[in-house]
Amino acid sequence: GAVFGRAVVNRPEYHAITGIITTGGETESYAWQMGCEDVAVSIVEPTDAFPAAVGDPTQPGRFLVWVEVKGTTSGSLVVELDPLESFGVQVGGVNAQVLQGDVVQNRYWLVVQAPPMASTANGQLFDLRVELLNTAANDVSAQSVLYESRPREQVLLLDRSGSMADEDKLIGAQSAARLFVDTTRQGDQLGIVSFNDTVSTDFNMRLIPDQDDAAGIRAAANLALNGLTAAGDTAIGAALSRGQSLLNSDPETIDNWLVLLSDGINTTGMAPLTVLNTVVAPADTKVHTIALGHSADHNLMRAIAAITCGGAFVDHCFHATDEVDGAPVQASAVQGVAQGAALNLGLADTYLRIAESMANHQRLWQGAGNGQDTASFQLEDVRGSDALLSVYWGCDQKPGAVKLTVPNGLKVIERSDVGHSVYYLPELTSGDYRMEMGGDCEWRGVLSAYVTAGVEIHAFVDTLEAERKLYHPALLQVSLANANGPVAGANVSATVYRFDGTQEQILLRDDGVGPHDDEAGDGVYGYSYDRVNGVEQHNITFDIEASGQGFTRYQRLTYRPAHISRIDSDGDGLPDVWQARYNVAGATKDPDGDQLTNQQEMDLGTNPTLADSDRGGENDGSEVTSGHNPLDATDDVALAIADFWCESGQAEAILHFNPRADFEQIRVWRVESASGAASLADFKAIGDFSPTDGQIVDTDVKNGENYLYMLQALTAGGKTAGGYTNQQLCQPADDPYPPQSYLSINGGARTTDKYLVQLYMAQTYEDGRPEIKSVKLSNTPNIHAAKWAPFSEEMEWKIEPDPDTGVATVYALFLDDAGNVSPDVYTDSIRFGKSGGTFGDEFMIYLPLLKR
């Protein structure tokens, strides 16, 4: 079976560790153990193969460190470390500041500010050391931090098979690739390989010697791209091999990349994963992949990226599919969108995001328009280098269509081609930027830079294959940090592009609530996206935007389930994996009573066992009816009922709650002859009542019967319904009122020198007759284990003093002739000793000891 282990680091304030294991009903199938072991720290990234480039030695930037912390014997993950206080980081023996951190997929990630080095360090690699403070555990990643803006070797791998002619995919890919070529920097090397059933080197590896392309290297590369035509089959494996051969021509470069675009599956030649594992991965080459369209091999493209630590991208214009005879085909509603301008613009944006990833850029601005527009934006509190302002069109716009105005003193180098203009800024500062567009079609604009001062964004989605399951949530986390540490209070949202071509907006939070965010105000914003339930051939894309005081940042993530199962063993219309997650059955059932069936809950991503999935105060069915998002608490009409309790009366049940002005009615749900907690299906609505006085009396009851109640607030004429309250039990009776009394030892004496004492208790009377008939007495709090004895107002009792303190306590419960038990346990204490006396002979004060 599965093995699960967790560990914590021992601290001086810990005196003991308690393990609580819940096993369900099959205890014999579980084994567990606890113990102590040493702790080990392992640096996952950066490494000498994939070093972190931090830029100028005198003004370096920040970088990410991934760390695993485990027990040395069991391999158990060490949890609940505070990243800001638990880790010490050094670069080349110099202390580096940890600005922010959290846990993603069982690893700690740290945002680290690289320490300045002497200018002579330019181009040098330094060791990275991470230690777990207050322990001996540490790890060193040798030669893994590079102080320079590293030159890159990059090869574009473009699919030119016959299917690339459909929907003008090759035309869109050529346009986007030309934009990528013009974003390459001086000092980079570039090559181009295209493939169908054969592979051709269309542009051999060449050094880019300048930024303005006076040497014509970029122009020659773009000319090679323009000459591609679509025909034939698809040889992805052979293309990977050829691309790596070009990279191998300069073995000195340590930053090697392949950018692979394909719209199909490998139909001929070498197996792609074999080439990847034997040729590409051993050379420490990273591969970014672009899966273009519904017919692309999405699983292969994601695997290629994952194995090489690259990124997997998709063109979300091609997400939508229908099923025809079990085969996916593009949905008619989207067929006209995934070509022409939309395809050109979408692919251009994807290639720019890849270029940003390779250059460690932050996206600082993005905009869009149509025709002769003016776009202006202001950058605040930011400083950067190596900036690129790219403008691209959805048509073959001629160069020279943009008039750019930048803050005084900034140098700008322009490089334009058909369909785009790229402006290179060696230095980037705060200020006003303005673009006047002279084109005649739809355009997009993007500014990115290597940030040396200002806010940085880092975003993560579940990456471990074991966690990526259909019908299970995808956990998103976004980190915002600047030189001072975490950035809290930002607005972080994401546009979600789904499998079916639809879009939705989600809001990521830094509130410390729920499974998506560990701690409030730590600059880590999270969201648990639970609509991973669509057509399995496609990915989900999250376009993230974060904005705050003087900044906006952008990031894109893609997600694809790795474990896909639609088996429905019981034939009830619900996949087994979803049923097992929630322990429900029946597509048409509504176990949580929120007016949504299980099928609807699965489609929406809501919880079928919780009427108010987002816990915002409005139940899921009400939110769907009113057009709200049942997974966003911020748009709920908050109708939570507070302080609900039930008072048993004579032939009546009195329901108490805290009334509110926005409650129009209170719906009462009831179960008759209740024997304990009931399922929602057992409850029946008995009516809607006025909430004005915070009390509803149910007289349609019988004495001696048990009734279970829940309440639900209504507004908007009953169209908007809040969540259900907790369940409360009422037991109407001829005498529903429990007895009351008191307990006194030796008439209030504080000490005694005898074990036998006299207990004094009070009788209560109803209509002149004594009511209490029995009493339970005990020397321990476990009074419910005692036996009932006949009641008397005075009784002799033997105390059992505590051997350490000498204090003896007596506990009492009372039972009346109607069967009511006192709700409170009555107690009194006395000190056993030789001094004797009553109150006043000895006065002692006990104060709590508070540890700070």
CATH of the domain at 654: 2.60.40.10
> 603-640, pLDDT tens digit by residue?
898 999 988 888 888 889 989 988 888 988 888 887 77
Residues 605, 550 within the same domain: no
User: Which pLDDT score is estimated for 227?
Assistant: 95
Decide the pairing of beta strands 77-78 and 6-7.
Answer: parallel
Residues 715, 752 within the same domain: no
Here the tokens at position 141 are 């990643």
> 490-517, pLDDT tens digit by residue?
999 999 988 777 788 889 989 877 656 6
pLDDT of 769 above 80: no
Higher pLDDT, 627 or 159: 159
Residue partners of 68: CB distance under 8 A and separation at least 6: 41, 42, 44, 77, 106, 107, 108
Q: Does residue 606 lie within any of the structural domains? A: yes
Q: Which of 74-88, 99-113, 194-208, 533-547 has the highest mean pLDDT?
A: 194-208
Note whether 534 and 547 are within 8 A (CB). no
Residues 221, 348 within the same domain: yes
> 780-803, pLDDT tens digit by residue?
999 989 999 999 999 999 999 999
Amino acid at residue number 185: R
Q: Rounded to two decimals, what is the model's pTM?
A: 0.74
Query: pLDDT tier at 313 (50, 70, 90 boundaries)?
Result: confident
Higher pLDDT, 680 or 231: 231
Residue 600 sits at φ, ψ, to 5 deg, of: -65, -40
Q: Give the whole-angstrom CA distance, residue 811 versus residue 367.
A: 73
pLDDT of 35 above 80: no
Helix (H, G, I), strand (E, B) or coil at 343: helix
- Arithmetic mean of pLDDT over the chain: 86
Here the tokens at position 525 are 């914003």
Q: Does residue 615 lie within any of the structural domains? A: yes
Pick from 133, 128, 56, 66: nearest CA to 93: 128
Mean of pLDDT values over 302-327: 64
Residues 328, 187 within the same domain: yes
Mean of pLDDT values over 540-556: 92
How many domains in the chain? 7
Mean of pLDDT values over 206-212: 93
Residues 461, 534 within the same domain: yes
Here the tokens at position 426 are 């060696």
Residues 317, 193 within the same domain: yes
Q: Which domain holds residue 251?
A: 150-359
Residues 92, 186 within the same domain: no
pLDDT of 535 above 70: no
pLDDT of 835 above 60: no
Residues 178, 293 within the same domain: yes
Residues 395, 512 within the same domain: no
User: Which pLDDT score is estimated for 333?
Assistant: 34
Q: Does residue 35 lie within any of the structural domains? A: yes
User: Which pLDDT score is estimated for 304?
Assistant: 94
Query: pLDDT tier at 463 (50, 70, 90 boundaries)?
Result: low
Residues 274, 125 within the same domain: no
Q: Which of 233-247, 503-517, 520-534 has the highest mean pLDDT?
A: 233-247
Note whether 351 and 177 are within 8 A (CB). yes
pLDDT of 427 above 50: yes
Residues 498, 607 within the same domain: no
DSSP class of residue 520 equals T
Query: pLDDT tier at 229 (50, 70, 90 boundaries)?
Result: very high
Query: pLDDT tier at 18 (50, 70, 90 boundaries)?
Result: confident
Mean of pLDDT values over 539-560: 90
- Annotate 353-364 with three-state secondary structure: HHHHHHCCCEEE
The HSE-up count of residue 108 (CA atoms within 13 Å, CB side) is 27
Q: Does residue 1 lie within any of the structural domains? A: no
User: Which pLDDT score is estimated for 337?
Assistant: 33
Pick from 193, 204, 205: nearest CA to 160: 193
Query: pLDDT tier at 58 (50, 70, 90 boundaries)?
Result: confident
Q: Does residue 173 lie within any of the structural domains? A: yes
Mean of pLDDT values over 50-79: 87
Q: Where are the alpha helices (DSSP H) in 52-168?
A: 83-86
Residues 275, 177 within the same domain: yes
User: Which pLDDT score is estimated for 247?
Assistant: 94
User: Which pLDDT score is estimated for 850?
Assistant: 53
User: Which pLDDT score is estimated for 49?
Assistant: 82
Cα→Cα distances 13→17, 36, 136, 654, 833, Å: 11, 16, 19, 49, 36
Q: Bridge partners of 658?
A: 642
| DSSP letter string, 301-327 | HHHHHHHTT--EEE-GGG--EEEETTE
User: Which pLDDT score is estimated for 126?
Assistant: 95
For tokens 């273009």, name the residue.
Answer: 292
